Amino acid sequence: MISWRYHLVSLVAVVLAFGLGIVAGTSVVSDPLAKNIQERYDRAVREKDEANQTVAFYQDFVRALEPTLRDGTLEGEEAIVVSVEGVDGPAQRAVDELTAAGVDVVASFEVTPRLTDPNEEDLRALAEILGLSASATNAEAVADAIPDALGVRLALGVLGSDEDVLEGLLAGGFLTADRDLDAQALVEIGGAGELNVFAAGGARPAGTPGPERLLVPLTQRIVGLGAAAVGVGPSEDPYGYVDAVRDDAAIPDCSMVTVDDIDLDVGGITLAMAIDRFRTDPDPAVRPGGDYGVRGDMLVPGAQEPPETCRR
């Protein structure tokens, strides 16, 4: 609301200044009208200054809380962060906030368009990586197999002597990583209670598939396997990943954490508090996740009682 008011007041000030200039340049407008416009302009400038001061106050207040409510509160946790090329704005902010909270972010992965919208050659390569038969190289079969195979890999780690799906997707250019990962490093990624953080959102470039193509079914699979899932997005989000997982009937309410305002100063505090509650909440009758932020059930954890839909 503060941001909206700031922009509205700025717009009013510009319009009034423009009108005042017109009045000053014509002799047919009466002095009382010019005086009235000047007074309106001055009032708009004052309101803009007050809005700026209010924004600065709340920013300083939130930042003063960070050392207590965020910093170091998640020491010992490990996480991987998954984003999507083209809507990856929240990813670095999520990494920064998790790191400040004490989380060891072992790797960040970005889904490329070749994974969400593969051509015929990519379909054949993906079928081989996923271990599909030659008759299952059609787009629908591959699209169904990707979130299942990748979800199992991230939630449970490498299973036995199976080919590593994560390694295959990276080697094939279907995923990219923020660092070099040798074979030993890859084996240590996934499972073992790691947080699976999906950070995607913002304006969607033309041709970019929506979150229903991969991220939502991947989240479904990870939640279904009992792994810890966290969905992160910005306060203004045409891409809509966070809203999509919140609305998905296959993901029970409060079975994961979602934060829809990671771009705001309070977002990092909310993320740390929500994960901490997810890990330590003692009430067995209520699932420990929740939907937080400007569009969530609560702005921050503890702001009110969890909704009834969170009860087991």
> Looking at the structure, do residues 36 and 120 belong to the same domain, yes or no?
no
- Helix-, strand-, coil-residue percentages of the chain, each rounded to 5: 50, 10, 35
pTM over 0.85: no
Query: For position 8, what pLDDT does the model report?
Result: 47
Higher pLDDT, 6 or 115: 115
pLDDT of residue 58: 53
Q: Let me know whether 32 and 81 are in one domain.
A: no
Q: Which of 35, 66, 97 is the last residue of a domain?
A: 66
The per-residue pLDDT for 162 is 73
183-214: pLDDT as tens digits: 889 999 998 789 999 999 999 999 899 999 99
15 and 129 co-located in one domain:
no
Q: What is the pLDDT of residues 251-263, one digit of tens each?
A: 999 999 999 999 9
278 shares its domain with 131? yes
Residue 198, phi-psi category: left (phi > 0), alpha (psi -120 to 50), beta (remainder): beta
As a residue count, the chain comes to 312
Q: Are residues 12 and 144 in the same domain?
A: no
Same-domain pairing of 298 and 214: yes
Q: Is residue 180 domain-shared with residue 222, that is, in the same domain?
A: yes
Q: Is residue 92 domain-shared with residue 162, that is, in the same domain?
A: yes
Supply φ then ψ for residue 151, to 5 degrees: -60, -45
Residue 241 tokens read as 């990943």
Q: Are residues 126 and 254 in the same domain?
A: yes
What is the helix (H) or strand (E) element at residue 257, kind and residue range? Answer: strand 257-259
Give the end of a domain, one of 66, 89, 118: 66
H or E element, residue 145: helix 139-156
pLDDT (tens digit per residue) in 70-108: 899 999 999 999 999 999 999 999 999 999 999 999 999
For 5-29, what is each residue's pLDDT tens digit? 455 455 445 444 544 454 455 545 5
Question: In total, how many domains does the chain have?
Answer: 2
**Domain limits for position 117:** 73-310
36-45, 139-148, 184-193, 294-303 — most confident range: 139-148
- Residues 113, 23 share a domain: no
Give all strands of the β-sheet with 195-199 in edge-to-edge order. 175-177, 104-111, 78-84, 195-199, 228-232, 257-259, 290-292
| 235 shares a domain with 132 | yes
Q: What is the rounded distance in angstroms from the CA atom of residue 231 to the CA atom of residue 2?
A: 25
Angle, vertex CA 259, rays to CA 257 and CA 264, nearest 5 = 155
The domain boundary, picked from 66, 90, 113, lies at: 66
Cβ proximity of 163 and 198 under 8 Å: no
83 and 49 in a common domain: no
Closest by CA position to 271, among listed 99, 86, 152, 43: 99
Phi-psi region of 243 (alpha: psi -120 to 50; beta: other; left: phi over 0): alpha
